[in-house]
Amino acid sequence: MKQPVYKFIRMLLVAIPLLLTMAPAMAQANMIYTGQTVELSVEVIPGDTYTWELYSDVSTINFATDAGNCQSTSALFAGGINTGPVVHVTCFAPGTYFYKVTSNRNGCSMNFKIGKIEVQLPPSSASLSLTQASICTGQSTSLVVNFTGSAPWSITYRVHNPDGTTSDSTINHIASNPALIPISPSKTGTYTFEVISVSDAVSTNTNISNTAGLTVNAKPGSSRIYQYDPISKKKK
């Protein structure tokens, strides 16, 4: 009886440090946006090597025996490198992905741990510009809004007027991209247009820093137009 107990204790002495070392792989909270890359890592144990696998559909997966099934069009290991204590994963499609890291020593698998990567679509955003950044009183221009995300969009923007006051406007159910918003200021001076929030079919983003400036100049007063006669050298 002593020999089996002794072997069991030896196995625990090997497994416990390994489990503690591999714990960071499970503890990592990985949430990224599509197109981004996340770094995955474990603490190195001398003599061990590490192999990583990616899974996208785990409905029927046995992590102990099944190889990674993630398609490279959805997510992949950057540079094709899936070995070592540190790897990088780039994700192209939203969803939930799982990764398995297996520790190996002398050609034998010692242990594995499972982690998760949540991938979301990036929040919608908007950039502003003007078809004409300088006009005269009585003229019009258009605020050009370039969106990212999925239609339809809603935008709230703020106008900083020349007298120091501000006014907010909201436009909903925008299907075109870019969108053109007619602007017809009534006073001279400098106006600043600022994005406050943008919503699309998926999300709302209030963390946007984008502005566009407009200068409205006074319209010149009317003046008589003279025609110069080169023969008489007089104005007509």
pLDDT for the residue 3 = 55
What pTM was computed for the model?
Answer: 0.62
Report the DSSP pairing between strands 234-235 and 166-174.
unpaired
Work out the percent of the chain whose per-residue pLDDT is above 90.
Answer: 71
Asked if residue 69 has pLDDT above 90, the reply is yes
| List of E strands, the chain | 30-33, 37-41, 49-55, 75-77, 86-91, 95-105, 108-120, 125-130, 134-136, 141-148, 153-160, 166-174, 179-183, 189-199, 204-205, 211-217, 228-229, 234-235
Across 153-157, average pLDDT: 97
Whole-angstrom Cα distance, residue 88 to residue 50? 13
Between 68 and 3, residue with greater pLDDT? 68
Q: Which 3-state string (H, E, C) describes 95-117? A: EEEEEEEEEEECCEEEEEEEEEE
Where exactly does CATH 2.60.40.10 map onto the chain?
23-120, 125-217
Predicted confidence (pLDDT) per residue in 44-55, tens digit: 999 999 999 999
Are the beta carbons of 124 and 199 closer than 8 angstroms?
A: yes
Across 108-125, average pLDDT: 90
Asked if residue 220 has pLDDT above 90, the reply is no
- Give the right CATH number for 125-217 from 3.20.20.300, 1.10.10.10, 2.60.120.10, 2.60.40.10: 2.60.40.10
The domain defined by 23-120 carries CATH number 2.60.40.10: yes
Between 78 and 201, residue with greater pLDDT? 78
pLDDT for the residue 106 = 85
